[in-house]
Chain A
Amino acid sequence: MTRKKKERKGYESCSGCGVCLLSCPVWYRTKTMSFTRKARAKAIQGGATYEEIAFSIDSCLLCGACGTACPEGIGLADLNIHQRQELNRLRTESPPWYPGETREPPDSGRNPKAKSLLLAGELLGENKDVCATVIGLLGGADRTALALDDGRDIARFMEAGLPLGPERAERFIASLRPVCTLIVAEGLLHRPLRKWLPAKKILGLGESLLSSGPLRSHLGPEDLYIIESRGYHADHERLVLFYDRLRRETGCQTNLDLQRTAFSTGASSLQGRKDMAAAGCIENAKYILKGRRVKRVVVEDLADAEAFRLATDVPVVHLGLIGSKTREL
């Protein structure tokens, strides 16, 4: 017998237990093992090339649940993006849902001075009404300013595994340095922001809005609360306790499964934004609703609102609007 060196926890460490697929919305919908994280690991262990498993790499919605579920502690969230990067190097044609040419936001100067900065992302950033309400709930513009550069293009390129110019990332990071707290609606940015700015407090929209009492009082047992999965899984150890407390205190139902991973509709993925039905987001929303008795769906992520609106007649409302009866989405 020989002692084995401690290896990096990559796909080669996958023992094939399959726990990751139990939280995978793609597997639930397709019922096809070859679309799963486990299958990709096993295929590569067995000598398959990235091109041979391109369909599987492309099918991933990057919700991050598999990484949280993995008992081996394999960094699956980063690995999924890494595989997309490797695949991009090999292929000439990209899937139709890939972002087009880089459209960096113009340098619009320095962010307004405030304690916190809201990085609204694409959907919330474009919905001025909801965005203004959210900023109001976060203490108003004096306390929480809207970031002029919210890194939405960075998130899109990261998700597609496309290369990003170093100047672009540097400019983005520099714009965030003056503030203490970043409230980031786009969950995919949580992980890199923690790496780039380790001293900053990075919060999701749900956590920042629900940390004060008033909004919590509007949640009850007949609400189905949809946690934004990417941000949640990026800081799971901490947030699982936050949302567990929320569930106990308000009685609301959530999209957490028995493993306490957030089952995702995938609506905020690139595939979902291109074609929600084809990406399976509506089916995933229906699965989350199945067997539940709910009178309202409350979403953290505006992309989820659309998926649930197409999946159910139950009113769907953004977390920022739950205090207002007339402001269903």
Chain B
Amino acid sequence: MKIPLTENNSDKKTSGQPDSLWSAVGDQTNPSRWDGVQWPSFVKYLGNRGIAVHEGRSDSSVFISDAGGLAHGLPHGVVRPFSSEAVSEVLKAAQAYAVPVTTRGGGLTTEGESIAFGGLLLDMSSMNRVLEIDPAGMTVRTEAGIYWHQLAETLRRDGLDYLSAPLNLTSSVGGTLGVGGIDINSPRLGCSADQCLALKVVTPTGEILECSERENADLMERVLLGYGQFGVITEATLKIRTFSPIVMKYFYYSSLRTAIEDLQLIAREDAADYSGILTIMDRAINLLVAFDTGEREREFHLRWRKQLRGHGEANFGLRAAGYYFPRPWKFQEASYLLGRRLTLFPEFTRPEYMHNNTIIDRTVVFSRAVWKFWGGSKMVIPDLAASQEKFIEAVERGNEVCRKYFRHYTLYCVGIKLSNRRERYEMSCIPPDARDIAFGCEFEPMLRDTNYSRDYLQSFKNEIYDIGVDMGLSYYRFGGMMKGYIRKVFGDVLVDKHLAMKRKADPAMILNRDVIF
């Protein structure tokens, strides 16, 4: 086979182009669409090897955007692989023909990371089989395109469950492991990537490799939290546990600082199995804690409850009434809080998901509520990840930015226990100065009924991310349209190190090229 020579233009440093790490902070770094000169030869080559490339509008249009809904792009074609071998064939050919390949699981990115701006889109959701459940070793081997919800459906039939995963039904295992994966039990168990025991990875040059702590450990460390730069995860072995419904308790605060201090106390002292903060602006701050067993709940009440400064709902309601009653000019805000309370809270206690006051399917409950009350055709969720010491200031500063830009918004704060695997945390959402535990906060404006301009939303995101630069923090969502911040926040030395590794692993820079580099 004669492979045509193609120019690798991935080293261009022009603002707005792929590999535009040098683009000015504040720019939206939407890549230009790949021109596709070599596309027909590439498709023909794959066709001869039995791999179908779907080029119709009906095949590609479902991938036109991601959960953020702000970036739009179409691939030249879509491949739905059913094996690691097929992924390998695709990547080998992509290297030879210099065709960009974008991998996509659930497409829940918000900065366009899972959108193909031309080139090939690998729809990994076709690889969704659960391969082996080992109840004795408490592990599961699964194809990585599976959504966590599908995995839960299968595990539940054996009374089992995964350990931690994003509170979103359509997050894929592979996509989650590539960025970290935060759950409300992450203060106790760490991120989803830290639950992973082994992987099968197809490298950007098409090698299929097994990796674990003992085998190809370097690659494992690169791929976990690697934002899809160093390989496509096709299979994963994950820790699992016995399924248990959870008991959820809510404490209400009117001060962000106090609530965060209590959240940090809970995380530090391992006082609850699950914890997090969910707010309605900075007026109603809800610290939620939950427990897998009655024993843990009893221990919490005995040892820690008295130290928390949050109120029960009735008490908080009275205090809120006391605050708003003499301030009639804040009637609209009070009305919003009340409306939110009346519509949102029943979602968390829907009878079909409850049994004896326990939540049976927490991911279903939370994910449905997230989409129902926070979802929409557009979502911006800038975030800040900080060490314990810097977290409160980061959230308070981010909250001021939210107040400046939006009438209604939500903050979601959670802790992330860190493992000893420091290598995988390098240039990731885990801030470099965090020890033992890190904390993250998402700043999510309620966009539902209002059309904000893209520039307005970008300005908002920039102001949040500037806090990160100023304070030396990190972000969960630093790729895609926000990648202009990568050098600012991580520094040239670290970024150049990773860029060199990327170039070595992916000579034609084809794999997820617009995400980080």
Contact = CB atoms under 8 A, between A and B. Distances in A.
- Size bin of chain A's contact surface: 35 or more
A290 B154 CA distance: 8
B450 A1 contact: yes
Interface string B359-384: 00101100110011001110000000
Contact of B450 (A3, A38, A42): A3
Contact of B128 (A31, A241, A291): A31
B352 A244 contact: yes
Nearest to B374: A71
A16 B104 CA distance: 14
Given A71-B372, A72-B375, A18 B456 contact: no
Given A15-B377, A48-B58, A241 B149 contact: no
A128 interface: no
Contact of A33 (B62, B150, B377, B453): B62
A118 to B, nearest CB: 28
Interface of B: 54, 56-59, 61-65, 67, 69, 80, 82, 106-107, 123, 125-126, 128, 147, 149-150, 152-154, 156-158, 169-170, 351-353, 355, 361, 363-364, 367-368, 371-372, 375-377, 449-453, 456
Interface in A31-47: 31-34, 36, 38-39, 42-43, 45-47
B58 A1 contact: no
B366 to A, nearest CB: 12
A199 interface: no
Nearest to B379: A15
25 contacts: A1-B453, A2-B450, A4-B449, A16-B65, A16-B69, A17-B67, A19-B367, A19-B368, A19-B371, A22-B170, A31-B125, A34-B62, A42-B62, A46-B61, A48-B57, A48-B58, A52-B56, A55-B58, A241-B352, A244-B352, A258-B156, A258-B364, A259-B361, A259-B364, A259-B368
Contacts of B154: 290-291
A33 B56 CA distance: 13
A245 B472 CA distance: 53
Contact of A241 (B58, B126, B351, B449): B351
A260 interface: yes
Give 4 nearest A-B pairs by CB, closest first.
A71-B371, A46-B61, A291-B157, A39-B62
A40 to B, nearest CB: 8
Nearest to B351: A241
Contact of A4 (B107, B152, B364, B450): B450
Interface string A246-258: 0010000000011
A258 B368 contact: no
A38 B364 CA distance: 19
A17 B372 CA distance: 10
Given A22-B150, A39-B62, A291-B154, A15 B57 contact: no
A38 B62 contact: yes
A257 B107 CA distance: 23
Contact of B57 (A32, A43, A241): A43
A53 interface: yes
A33 B125 contact: yes
A181 interface: no
Contacts of A13: 377
Given A19-B170, A48-B57, A240-B352, A1 B126 contact: no
